[in-house]
Copies of this chain bind each other. A is one copy, B any other.
């Protein structure tokens, strides 16, 4: 009986994700779900990415997911981008963004002025990997200080993602992290995943990442 309840919840979640995808697809909006540990640098990276996309006529919007606070949306708003803060605290402090929260956030956005929607998921390498939101692409941001063993320890996250951004590479000279082993570990979990080194601080690699977004968008939105 209880298993049936769980199964229904998961099915409802998948159904909501499909509806989100249909809605955004009809509006020609490319939807990217960004996931990571807490403090991997997603917001800093987006703050560098969004203006670059804008210079190429791609208008972004962000659903900033957190358990609580509006810190991330406050950081992104000065970019003149549409931002919705999606807090999970009213939903029991959920450790991930669910498709229902995305749906609620979409109602607060002017979708006719959006070409690319980012979800900044709650910082967590475990639970967000288990829930589809209706996204076109899943991206995991892994910062170099987190160490080269993380893909092996949190394999599901790296398996479900299309791209891994290795962030904070500006810190490489100060860390005892083996960058080659880092990439090898990522690929050992998912042979097909893209790996791009970036620095949200210095901006290194952000142009390549933006190019990836533009290319992926063209594949999906024809």
Q: Contact: B153 with A68, CB < 8 Å?
A: yes
Interface residues of A in 139-193 (CB under 8 A from B): 143, 145-147, 149-150, 152-156, 168, 170-171, 174-176
On whether A39 and B69 interact (CB within 8 A), knowing A5-B2, A122-B126, A124-B95, the answer reads no
Per-residue CB contact flags for chain A residues 117-148 toward chain B (1 = under 8 Å, else 0) read 00000111111000000000000000101110
A38 contacts partner chain B, Cβ-Cβ < 8 Å: yes
Nearest to A127 among chain B residues (CB) is B95
Max chain B CB contacts within 10 Å: which of A2, A68, A146, A155?
A: A146
Which residues of chain B have C-beta atoms less than 8 A from A127's C-beta?
95, 126-127
Q: Does A49 contact B (CB under 8 A)?
A: no
Measured CA separation A149–B120 after assembly (Å): 15
Min CB gap A73→B, angstroms? 12
- Contact assessment for B69 and A123 in the assembled complex, using a CB-CB cutoff below 8 Å: no
For window 23-81 of A, CB contacts with B under 8 Å fall at 37-39, 66-69, 71
Number of A interface residues, CB 8 Å? 36
Which of chain B's residues has its CB closest to A94's CB?
B126
Measured in the bound complex, the distance between the Cα atoms of B143 and A102 in whole Å is: 30
Question: Which B residues touch A176, using CB under 8 A?
Answer: 201
> Known contacts A71-B153, A150-B38; is A145 also within 8 Å of B126 by CB?
no
Shortest CB-to-CB span from A65 to chain B, Å, is: 10
7 tightest Cβ-Cβ pairs between the two chains A and B: A39-B146, A95-B126, A145-B145, A37-B38, A39-B147, A37-B37, A174-B174
Beyond A69-B149, A171-B175, 19 additional contacts (C-beta under 8 Å) are: A37-B39, A37-B146, A38-B153, A38-B154, A39-B150, A67-B126, A67-B153, A67-B154, A67-B155, A67-B156, A71-B152, A71-B153, A93-B156, A122-B126, A123-B125, A123-B150, A124-B126, A126-B127, A145-B145
| 25 A-B residue pairings within 8 Å (CB atoms) | A2-B2, A2-B5, A37-B37, A37-B123, A38-B125, A38-B150, A38-B154, A39-B146, A39-B147, A39-B150, A67-B126, A67-B156, A69-B149, A71-B152, A93-B156, A95-B126, A95-B127, A123-B150, A124-B126, A126-B127, A127-B127, A143-B145, A145-B168, A145-B171, A176-B201
